[in-house]
């Protein structure tokens, strides 16, 4: 089975061509699937995908409706009714934030990116779908915590 046979397209691929910056996959039912070449090159540059990996092409990307954070989880509610939940421990800045800081977020990127201004944290919805944790290094988190502690001590002294 070729690689395209593992990608669910709803019909068997018949031809694959490249036109400018797009990969065009013509299907047996006459439809054409267009995939931007930058996406394909990103897949090539990343770690090799395991055999069980799947590519999901969405006609209508999901959008975030709202976010709710508990002491143990980041819960993201989507406009289509779905909910994603991740352990809060995956995101150290959120974990160390106060409830007020966690509840003050902004949506951007067509409602696909969550930004917490006071915590200087950004999480993309696509990252949550991948099951991705924060990619921030432990060293960076420690510097941030130290800076945060200094700011709190300064605020308390005033």
For the chain, domain boundaries: 3-45, 64-138
The b-or-e profile of 34-61 (16+ CB within 10 A means b, else e) is: ebeeeeeeeeeeeeeeeeeeeeeeeeee
CA distance 138 to 158: 30
CA distance 1 to 117: 48
Residue 77 has pLDDT above 80, yes or no: yes
pLDDT higher at 136 or 50: 136
CA distance 139 to 120: 16
How many C-beta neighbours within 10 Å does residue 114 have? 22
Please write the tens of the pLDDT for every residue from 26-75: 888 888 888 887 776 665 555 666 777 766 666 678 899 999 999 999 99
Mean pLDDT of the chain: 83
Global pTM?
0.64
Kindly report the CATH class assigned to 64-138: alpha beta
């Amino acid at each position: 089975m070729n690689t395209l046979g593992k990608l669910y397209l709803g019909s068997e691929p018949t031809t694959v061509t490249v036109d400018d910056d797009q990969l065009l996959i013509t299907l047996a039912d006459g439809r054409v699937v267009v995939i931007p070449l930058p996406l394909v090159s990103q897949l090539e540059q990343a770690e090799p995908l395991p055999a069980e990996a799947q590519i999901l092409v969405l006609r209508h990307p999901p959008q975030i409706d709202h976010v709710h954070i508990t002491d143990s989880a980041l819960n993201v509610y989507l406009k289509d009714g779905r909910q994603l939940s991740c352990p809060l421990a995956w995101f150290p800045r959120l974990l160390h934030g106060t409830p007020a800081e966690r509840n003050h977020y902004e949506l951007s990127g067509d409602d696909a990116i969550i930004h917490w201004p006071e915590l200087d944290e950004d999480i993309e919805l696509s990252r949550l779908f991948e099951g991705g944790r924060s990619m921030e290094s432990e060293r960076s988190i420690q510097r941030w915590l130290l800076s945060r502690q200094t700011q709190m001590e300064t605020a308390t002294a005033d």
